[in-house]
Amino acid sequence: MKMKNKVVLITGGGKGIGRGVSEAFCEEGADLVITGRDESSLLKAKEELEQKYHNRVLAIRGDGAVEEDVKNVIKKTIDCFGHLDVLINNAMASKSGKMFIEHTKEDFALAVNTGLYATFFYMREAYPYLKESKGTVINFASGAGFAGRIGQSSYAAAKEGIRGLSRVAATEWGPDGINVNIICPLVETPQMLKWKEEYPEQYAKTIHNIPLQRFGDAKKDVGRTCVFLASEDASFISGETIVLQGGSGLRP
């Protein structure tokens, strides 16, 4: 098992893409910390993951946009496990589907606070422990920014901010032995299916531009990629944007 004795913190790890990533790491023997704003989904995921994989799973409610919540999640992680090896910043909320001109300041702030600020807070607070473990950061961005997707203005802006932040961190933290990479996934989730129902034309345009003509699987495609990036097999990969969108490949 590649991740045995490793501690992996996944924001939004209780549902959606994060749940698939959680399962992929559990299969490799990792101990998990899953966090997010929905305590009921976290506790349900903890119970199901522990029963299925027999891993240790710590569920901590926390809002990534709130600095003190992030500090509390990191503290409880270290108090419980004593170390941290992998940080995965997946959780984010936004007004996806809402056109640029319809956005309010509050709509824009939602994406920036829950995405960009949350990623910044978690990376900063986790840094000392990742330095000790020579660990890994995997941040989630999106193809929405460099593709200029309709109805994704605040979402794309926050995700492009995460990409920039990640590449700087990869440079600054490389001497400490910390790998920092970005994944841009396009995955079939309940949220995606809801978006399909609400914005069928945008959905059709999106899938038309995917070489494989399908969306990815949260566990098999995204989760396994995260496991690889957190493993010794990827020890020389850092500062990369990995686009998981049906064959789009790497982008600078």
Provide the annotated active-site residues. Answer: 155
Q: If we measure between CA atoms, which residue out of 111, 82, 116 comes closest to residue 95?
A: 111
Six-digit token string for 197: 């129902």
Residues in the chain: 252
Structure letter (DSSP) for residue 181: E
Beta strands in 62-126 (DSSP E): 86-89
Q: How many other C-beta atoms are found inside a 10 Å radius of the C-beta of residue 183?
A: 23
Long-range contacts of 166-171 (CB under 8 A, 24+ apart): 166/119, 166/137, 166/139, 166/141, 166/239, 167/239, 169/123, 169/137, 170/238, 170/239, 171/239
Rounded to whole angstroms, the Cα distance separating 245 from 214 reads 8
Structure letter (DSSP) for residue 231: S
